[in-house]
Amino acid sequence: MESGQRLLVISPHLDDAVLSCGLLIAAHPRTVVCTVFTAPPAENMTTDWDRAAGFADAFEAMRARQAEDREALGLLSAIPVHLLFRDAQYHASPDADELITALNHAVSETKPTLIVMPLGLFHSDHVLVSNACLALMRRQPATQFVAYEDVPYRRMSGVVQARLCDLAKRGYAAQPPHAFDAPGTMQHERMKRAAIDAYRSQLRAFGPEGQANLFSPERCWQLGCDESAPTTQNA
């Protein structure tokens, strides 16, 4: 990857970017990481995931998780941007057009030369964000887009292949972008592990078995679109 690249990494939740492409972020200081789902629910509640992470309620969870994210990204010399949407566990997923507008604003503010987005595996929040990024790609034809394989869902049998097939049917091409592979230096490995460790609540929720699936080689796909294909986010 060119050293002068300005990266904008789109992360569904407060940890996805670091888990999925932390080495890439570590290799490019001042990367902007825009996380979509960072707001608490309108009325407080307690979910199974927040309880497993050690929180009494959602308000406590989101305050702590935002702080963890700032700490983790600080260890990678990255810049956090938190969009105030609510994730699916809080029963308030955003409208697709509203999400696309917010992401488009983040792009306008950041002016990246490369946008790194989730491939969109398994989790409804990840699919929603990925589809919004695909719609954004058609609005930003001069900007390169790369999709990272979402950790830990990339370990699930067949999910990557199914998503790539779905994208192909909708007019999107995905190729392994060897030029964008993150350099696997020991320094970057240490930085990524330290950043992951900063997500203390999420590691608690994953448990020992789940944590074992978090450390895997990063893999991205260079994306392109067929201009003859439909232009909606669900195309």
Q: Tell me: the pLDDT tens digits for 195-227?
A: 999 999 999 999 988 888 888 889 999 998 766
Alpha-carbon separation of residue 89 from 42, 63, 116, 142, 210 (angstroms): 12, 16, 24, 35, 19
| pLDDT tens readout for residues 67-103 | 999 999 999 999 999 999 999 999 988 999 999 999 9
In the chain, domain spans: 7-225
pLDDT score at 235: 47
pLDDT score at 182: 57
pLDDT at 28 over 90: yes
pLDDT score at 139: 87
With beta carbons less than 8 A apart as the criterion, state whether 173 and 224 touch: yes
pLDDT at 3 over 70: no
CB atoms within 10 A of CB 54: 14
Q: Is 35 helix (H, G, I), strand (E, B) or coil?
A: strand
Distance, CA of 162 to CA of 141 (rounded, Å): 25
Pairwise pLDDT comparison (38 vs 173), residue with the higher score: 38
CATH architecture type of domain 7-225: 3-Layer(aba) Sandwich (3.40)
pLDDT score at 210: 84
